[in-house]
Amino acid sequence: MQSWRLPTGNLAKVMANMAAVEIDPARARSGLIEAAVAQLKRLLGKPPSGDESKA
């Protein structure tokens, strides 16, 4: 059984730095990064598909 941990606040900083390297000067805006982190937290908080009956 895989044990998942939710992302910490540092994930947004890491994503911003990675985006700056990959797509600078068209950097990803902080709102986009924060939304991506929030969505990832929601997805990781749900049981994997097909495991709803075990929750």
pLDDT of residue 22: 76
* Residue from 48, 39, 37 nearest 2 by CA: 48
Q: 50 lies in a domain?
A: no
**What's the pTM?**
0.54
Q: 54 lies in a domain?
A: no
pLDDT of residue 55: 44
Q: 1 lies in a domain?
A: no
Q: 40 lies in a domain?
A: yes
The answer to whether the CB of 20 falls within 8 A of the CB of 27 is yes
Q: 3 lies in a domain?
A: no
pLDDT of residue 7: 78
Q: Which residue stretches of the chain are H helix?
A: 10-23, 30-45
Q: 52 lies in a domain?
A: no
Residue 26: domain span: 10-45
Q: 5 lies in a domain?
A: no
3-state SS class at 40: helix
Structurally, how many domains does the chain consist of? 1
pLDDT tens, position by position, 1-55: 556 677 777 888 888 888 878 776 777 788 888 888 889 888 888 766 655 444 4
